[in-house]
A and B are shown apart, each in its own frame.
Chain A
Amino acid sequence: MSAEILSGIAYWLRRLGGGVTGSVAQLGYATRFLLSVLWHTPAAFRRLHLTLREIYFTGVLSLVIILMSGLFVGMVLSLQGYETLKRYGADEQLGILVALALVRELGPVLAGLLFASRAGSAITAEIGLMKTTEQLAAMEMMAVNPVARVVAPRFWGGVLSMPLLAALFSTFGIFGGYVVGVRLIGIDAGAFWGQMHAGVDFWPDVTNGIIKSLVFGVAVSLIAVFEGFDAKPTAEGVASATTRTVVLSSLAILALDFVMTVFMFRGANVR
């Protein structure tokens, strides 16, 4: 009886240890992979059209969802913000509320989440399928490095697209907030823009938003290409790798956002 319990405990300890060492080893592999991507970046940039192609697929084709989401988020923010601010008679501050919320947080974070599910999953599925159909192995046979030819352009396409998408998200959000706040509710347009202009600083508000979106771009792109490259070469493997990309990048974005916010805005406007 006790031997059974002991062996049960030993089994769970083994599983726990295996899980921990496995995830640490995975982290090491991901780091090695990132270094290899960076090492092969000059080779990838020598064929710039590959990266431009990826910017087209990840950035340009994500525009519709990013812009529409930004517009609606800004409109909702404006409505809800007005309802709350009205109680304190501060409804003219709506411009600041909408702009700060979008530029500091919602722009980078929501654009990052949409980017992960729209573009990150596609990258993982593409690379995973290339691996499954042994296209990557075939490239190596032809002395073409798959990291330089396939992975690095996709990584950089994502990294370069993300800040632009986040800025566009914020811009369209502010436009949506303007439409609802000024056109529908009837706040004075001068107060809306003037308060916004006075309350939002380029440094640190806008720049911190850009830095955040750049970090999210690196995180999402790395997770997407790594999961694709690391996927089991089966249909199931590609499916689970795609799922993992979306889950991991979403968690990474939210966790990184918290950490960066702690460092960026801790006491930024407080004495």
Chain B
Amino acid sequence: MNRSTIDLWVGIFVAVGFGAILFLALKVGNLLTLDRSPGYRIEASFDNIGGLKLRAPVKAAGVVVGRVENVRLDPKTYEALVTMRIDKQYEFSKDTIAAINTSGLLGEVYIGLDAGGDTQMLKDGDRIAKTQSAVVIEKLISQFLFDKASEGPGTKAPSASTSAGKAPEGVAK
């Protein structure tokens, strides 16, 4: 086998190999999508973030508009401080509500943004004031069981009204 044939084959091999890496980067991975695009950071603090993970999506009306970039515990208030990176093309008003939602019963946990009516928009480094924590299923069930047990056979009406006021924070009524 002479040298130019070998060069040709090696050239084809290298080209196809780099093509494969490019395929893995662009078609399989998401090199050129939302992640790399410049955006701005906003923060929000939650009482409980449930199963929120790093890089979880931030959605508004179901559309992914950003990613969770950092999660840490505020050492003073003992609240979870979540930093999100929002895509530059989306702007949200100052009174936006951030809620931690789960898609389906076992689905991924994400942050849902509900835009408000304020004319001022959130800027880089701003903090979202109104948040809604994750619904912890265990708490919900124990609350329900506790209510059922405290109802008893004869005292149905009064305890039902008191339990409504005790509903844990974050449970949509």
Contact = CB atoms under 8 A, between A and B. Distances in A.
- Asked if A and B bind, the verdict is yes
B13 interface: yes
A170 B24 contact: yes
Given A52-B6, A202-B30, A205-B29, A270 B13 contact: no
Contacts, number: 93
Contact of B30 (A56, A164, A198): A198
A63 B24 CA distance: 18
A153 to B, nearest CB: 12
Interface string A125-166: 000000000000000000000000000000000000101110
Contact of A59 (B7, B10, B21): B10
B17 A202 contact: no
A197 B30 contact: yes
Interface in A195-223: 196-198, 200-203, 205-206, 209-210
Given A99-B28, A202-B25, A269-B53, A164 B18 contact: yes
Contacts of A270: 53-54
B71 interface: yes
Nearest to A167: B20
B25 A206 contact: yes
A271 B53 contact: yes
A201 B23 contact: no
A52 B24 CA distance: 25
Q: Tell which of B9, B30, B33 has the most Cβ of chain A within 10 Å.
A: B30
B16 interface: yes
A59 B13 contact: yes
Contacts of A56: 1, 6, 9-10, 13
A186 B28 CA distance: 20
A209 B23 CA distance: 14
Nearest to A196: B28
Nearest to B54: A271
Nearest to B17: A164
Given A49-B3, A271-B52, A271-B53, A197 B20 contact: no
Q: Tell which of A63, A164, A209, A269 has the most Cβ of chain B within 10 Å.
A: A164
Nearest to B18: A164
A164 B24 contact: no
B35 to A, nearest CB: 7
B30 to A, nearest CB: 6
Q: In terms of DSSP, what is the predominant structure of the interface of chain A? A: helix
Nearest to A88: B106
B14 interface: yes
Interface string B37-70: 0000000000000001111000000000000000
Given A53-B6, A55-B10, A59-B10, A201 B35 contact: yes
B28 A103 contact: yes
Given A52-B6, A164-B18, A168-B17, A206 B29 contact: yes
B24 A206 contact: yes
Contact of B29 (A49, A59, A60, A201): A201
A206 B28 contact: yes
A193 interface: yes
27 contacts: A56-B6, A56-B10, A59-B10, A59-B13, A88-B106, A99-B28, A103-B29, A164-B16, A164-B17, A165-B17, A167-B21, A167-B24, A170-B24, A171-B23, A171-B24, A174-B28, A198-B30, A201-B29, A201-B55, A202-B24, A202-B25, A202-B29, A206-B28, A269-B53, A269-B55, A271-B53, A271-B54
Interface of A: 49, 52-53, 55-56, 59-60, 63, 88, 99, 103, 161, 163-165, 167-168, 170-171, 174, 193, 196-198, 200-203, 205-206, 209-210, 269-271
The 10 A-B pairs with the shortest beta carbon distances in the complex, nearest first, are A164-B17, A202-B29, A202-B31, A167-B20, A171-B20, A167-B21, A168-B20, A60-B13, A56-B6, A200-B29
Given A59-B13, A59-B17, A206-B21, 8 more contacts: A53-B6, A55-B14, A103-B28, A171-B24, A197-B28, A200-B29, A201-B29, A201-B30
